[in-house]
Structure formats: C-alpha cells, structure tokens
C-alpha cells in the first residue's frame, strides 16, 4: 500500500501514452468490500465468480456482467452527492461538484503538499515531458506521504506533516532538526516552530531536487 496501477495508452482518453497511479489504503478497503459484495451477491445481482477478466467495477443494471460505463459512474456519484445533501436536484443546470471534482481534489491535495506538478500531472494521466524519467517507487513514496483520503481524519500539525513527507523520502526529520540546532547552538530563535518548518522545507526541497537530478 499504496497499490500501483499501470495504465496502458490504448485505454487512456487521449491514447497518448502510458501512466502510473496508485490506490491508497482507504480506496483499497472499499474496493475489497465491494468485491466481497459481488462474490456474495445482492438483491440486484446474483453471486459472481471473480476472475482476472472480470471488470473491476460492473454494471448492476443487468444480470450479465459488463463493465460500468462512464455515464453510469456519473449518475452514481451524483446520486451519492444528493443523498449526502452536498448538492440539491434541480438547483442548477451544472452542479458545482461533479465526478471530475474528485480529480481536482487529488490534484489540489498533492500539490499543496509540495509534490512537483509534473508528477501530479503524470499520476492523473496528463501528457508531460518527463515520461522517460518517472520512477514508480519514488512516485509511490510521494503518493503515500500525501495521506490522500476522502474520509475526515485527525488534523496533523504542519510540522508533523512535513516530518511524514521527509520520512517518505528517506530523511530522518529529527536528525535534520538536530543538525540545524547544533549548527548554531547559541542562536536565539524567536519562533521555534517557524524555524523547524523552515528547516524541514529546505531539507525537503533539496531531497526532491536530488531525486529529480538522479531520475
């Protein structure tokens, strides 16, 4: 975890190239529950024997197992948004939150963490200029460090988030902070927390630049 997903060019929207992305722990949990439901069957669909050729998400309107269509996914997402009270039917011709909003959420969360835009675009399937230098394991670390989740979670402090990101890149954040403190032991720091954030940000910047140079 996160689980690596390799997408071939012929099934992408523009068919311009392959890309790689990931499923985090939250998505895997729900996917497992969904597949278990299909194995057992429901009032709408009979029990199903899943194979390597089974669609990951199936159309539940028929007994015949077929992949779900894009239109069906949009309808399903809208129905869930209606049930949650996030959008109201008939409120507008174009709802402010749509299935595409999930992609925007993905992009926003990763870029806020400081993940380079080219890598975020690559994981979204956008055409970028660095395809030949993409390291899947490095991408996995970046994705994992984001803690991407739809479910509300306990808010971490900025320092804790920076430490998690640093650890995902192989850094020891406590050693980084200790080294800074030892460099000028007699220095007076007016705002210790701000200084820690500054030091960790600088260490992360150098770590990412190093990865990019070695890619």
**What is the reported pLDDT for 133?**
66
> Chain-wide mean pLDDT for the chain?
82
pTM: 0.64
CB-based contacts of 149: which residues, under 8 Å, 6+ apart? 24, 26
Give the largest CA-CA distance in the chain: 74
What φ, ψ does residue 145 adopt, rounded to 5°? -65, -20
Backbone dihedral angles phi then psi of residue 19, each to the nearest 5 degrees: -155, 170
Per-residue pLDDT for 17 more than 90?
no
**In the block, residue with structure tokens 């709802």:** 95
Give the pLDDT confidence of 120-160 residue by residue, as tens digits.
899 998 877 655 567 888 888 778 777 777 776 666 678 88
Given a contact cutoff of 8 angstroms between Cβ atoms, the answer to whether 78 and 85 are in contact is: no
Q: What percent of the chain has pLDDT over 90?
A: 18
Q: Residues 81-132: pLDDT tens digits?
A: 888 887 777 666 666 677 778 888 889 888 877 778 888 899 998 877 655 5
Q: Quick count: other Cβ atoms within 10 Å of Cβ 168?
A: 19
Structure tokens that stand for 144 in this block:
């994992």
Report domain extents, the chain.
Answer: 3-153, 159-215
Select from 204, 115, 206 the least CA-distant residue to 166.
204
From the list 157, 158, 172, the residue with the least C-alpha distance to 207 is: 172
List, in sequence order, every residue forming a beta bridge with 4; answer none if it has no partner. Answer: 22
């Amino acid at each position: 975890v996160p689980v690596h997903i390799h997408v071939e060019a012929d099934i992408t929207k523009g068919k311009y190239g392959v890309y790689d992305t990931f499923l985090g722990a939250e998505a895997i949990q729900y996917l497992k529950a969904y597949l278990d439901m299909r194995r057992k069957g429901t009032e709408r669909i009979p029990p199903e024997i899943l194979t390597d050729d089974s669609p990951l998400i199936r159309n539940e309107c028929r007994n015949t197992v077929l992949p779900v269509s894009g239109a069906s996914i949009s309808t399903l997402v809208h129905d869930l948004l209606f049930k949650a009270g996030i959008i109201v039917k008939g409120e507008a011709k174009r709802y402010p939150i749509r299935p595409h909003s999930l992609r925007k959420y993905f992009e926003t969360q990763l870029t806020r963490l400081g993940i380079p835009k080219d890598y975020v675009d690559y994981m979204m399937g956008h055409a970028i200029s660095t395809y030949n230098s993409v390291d899947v394991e490095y991408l996995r670390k970046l994705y994992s460090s984001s803690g991407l989740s739809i479910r509300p979670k306990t808010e971490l402090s900025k320092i804790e988030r920076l430490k998690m990101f640093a650890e995902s890149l192989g850094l020891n954040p406590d050693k980084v902070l200790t080294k800074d403190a030892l460099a000028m032991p007699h220095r007076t720091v007016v705002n210790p927390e701000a200084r820690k954030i500054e030091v960790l940000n600088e260490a992360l910047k150098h770590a990412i630049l190093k990865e990019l140079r070695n890619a």
